[in-house]
Chains A and B, each alone.
Chain A
Amino acid sequence: MGMTIAEKILAAHCGRESVRPGEIIMARIDLALANDITAPLAIKTFGEVGTERVFDREKIALVCDHFAPNKDIRSAEQCKTVRDFAGVQGIKYFFDVGTMGIEHALLPEQGIVLPGDLAIGADSHTCTYGALGAFSTGVGSTDLAAAMISGQAWFRVPRTIRFLYRGSRQKWVGGKDLILFTIGKIGVDGANYAAMEFTGEAIDNLSMDGRFTMANMAIEAGAKTGIFPPDRVTEEYVKGRARREYTIYHSDPDAEYAETIEIDVSGIEPVVAYPHLPSNVRPVREAKGVRIDQAVIGSCTNGRIEDLRQAASVLKGRKVSPKVRTLIFPGTQQIYLEAVREGLVEIFVEAGAAFSTPTCGPCLGGHMGILAAGERAVATTNRNFIGRMGHPESEVYLSGPAVAAASAIAGELVHPDDVVGREN
């Protein structure tokens, strides 16, 4: 009996020939990640246990990205806790303001997480690295502390649900639209405990940035991980970034899937997810007339260079509505630099948008773009729960970068064609 990619990676990390869904295994991990919110709890636990050293200072990444640059005194204290711990332990991959980026954009970009890896992170969007053909999943701070101590973590081997995307994508339809459409179809617990495996011809020509967006939101369907079969697109991305050996895994032809869900992408239009669940998905055309006060383009979901290029293609030569505060967040310093060199930042500023240093800030209602009562935002982020971006009576509509940029110009949710025109 064959295995899926997810099963092969887990088997390889527990020294077994094979594993089956439902089995509980203890596995060695290649990377343990935490941020300025989750690391302090893990560091507290680490101290309580009384261990002196982390298991491997080169297999831990600590990134101050959520409430950084420090939004207030208490977040400054939390970042300091992380910084001090990283210093004492000699953590190789510690990122602070200046080198810091949003963790799930940063670690793949820097070649710190690679295909075939088993990675855990005290952040639910750790599943992003599945785009590389890695098995990565979010855990709590205690599991993370245990992994920092032992280099191991226990897992229940998940069943795998295969998603087969057929057909060709319409203009403006990117990874965000595909994953929102998928979550809308299966629901916010449609893949609870499962691994989602993304395949099909409509995926083959999807860029790495688009794949990161899709894998990133696997958690919004409850999944343990979202994984893509590595191909030449993956190899091209990893080439020049990898600083160590890595392994490419593919699902066997006779691998066993819990379910296969086929989705014809040809009919999918740009979509938005209405408040207050990422599964409340509708074509953006049906949302016409929904006025917005803020547009946020960025986050671990859509803050990569391709996302910024798409937003710039809509904003170029146009102005955002004076009623819409438009905030653009590059995922990392490298992406920031590329945006400067390509002239994207000039386009954004001339359009009347604010361009920020990387931070998770507004996505989770931390800082840099909090909403007041009754306000509404369109955001390329990943969650639209009650109070997610600020006041409990504010609303977040999730979309891809083209819809967010077009809506910023129109002052209401619109299809990008309505702003740019069909000819462009």
Chain B
Amino acid sequence: MKFTGKVWKFGDNVNTDEILAARYLVTVDPEEMGQHLMEDIRPGFSGMVAPGDIIVAGENFGCGSSREHAPLAIKGAGISAVVAAGYARIFYRNAFNMGLPIFESPQAAAALEEGAEIEIDADTGTVTDLGSGEVYRSQPVPPFMQDLIRAGGLINYLTGQSVG
């Protein structure tokens, strides 16, 4: 399972209020949430994202509220994966439950720059900068978790449905 896209770079402690402000918690529609992704810290962000792009951030990504709307908004905006130096606990769990693949790599988070084209290999747990050829280590995603991501999240995985 591979993810290829352009890097959008964010700093440390990107919190769930910044990912999706509370004023948009009046919907259960991921696409609508995606239209407001990172709006307060990067106005117009969702309009700049191309499908498949990847967010690269620093420490403690997703800290704050338990809102599952945060990983849903990231998916809804078309982001294919997140690479960060580290994650807040609740977000980490919510991301996989929502079928959003996330990777921990302090090296990649420090080195990668905005606009870089990268490829993430979930089987080997590596992040490759396609421009420089530099390879960064993360953790492989186990096969069942890849199935879960393909299914679109925990519930679809458990009930055997798939989403388009």
Contacts and interface: CB of A to CB of B under 8 A. Distances in A.
B34 interface: no
A366 B22 contact: yes
B89 A38 contact: no
A234 interface: no
Interface stretch (B57-65, B101-109, B118-126, B139-147): B57-65
Given A188-B60, A192-B89, A38 B155 contact: no
A142 B18 contact: no
Interface stretch (B24-32, B44-52, B75-83, B129-137): B24-32
A233 B158 CA distance: 45
A188 B63 contact: yes
Interface in A5-21: none
B153 interface: yes
The residue among B13, B65, B97 with the most chain A CB atoms within 10 A of its own CB is: B65
B30 to A, nearest CB: 10
Contacts of B18: 385-387
A37 B17 CA distance: 14
B88 interface: yes
Contact of A140 (B64, B93, B159): B93
Contacts of B39: 392
B68 A222 contact: no
B66 interface: yes
A252 B22 CA distance: 41
B154 interface: yes
Contacts of A366: 22-23
Nearest to B65: A124
Interface residues of B, number: 37
A224 B89 contact: yes
Interface of B is mostly: loop
B27 A142 contact: no
Contacts of B68: 38, 41, 122, 140-142
Nearest to B25: A37
B26 A74 contact: yes
Contacts of A83: none
A138 interface: yes
B21 interface: yes
Given A138-B66, A224-B89, A392 B40 contact: yes
Contacts of A192: 60, 86, 88-89
B63 A222 contact: yes
Nearest to B61: A189
A58 B22 CA distance: 30
Contacts of A37: 22, 25, 67
B41 interface: yes
A365 interface: yes
B110 interface: no
Given A37-B25, A122-B68, A387-B17, 20 more contacts: A38-B68, A41-B28, A45-B155, A49-B158, A66-B25, A75-B26, A121-B66, A124-B65, A126-B66, A139-B90, A140-B94, A189-B59, A193-B89, A222-B88, A365-B21, A365-B22, A366-B22, A386-B17, A386-B40, A392-B40
Interface of A: 37-38, 40-41, 44-45, 48-50, 66-67, 72, 74-75, 77-78, 121-124, 126, 138-143, 145-146, 188-189, 192-193, 222, 224, 277, 364-366, 383, 385-388, 392
19 contacts: A38-B68, A66-B25, A74-B26, A78-B26, A139-B90, A140-B90, A143-B93, A188-B60, A189-B13, A189-B88, A192-B89, A364-B65, A366-B22, A385-B17, A385-B18, A386-B18, A386-B40, A388-B17, A392-B39
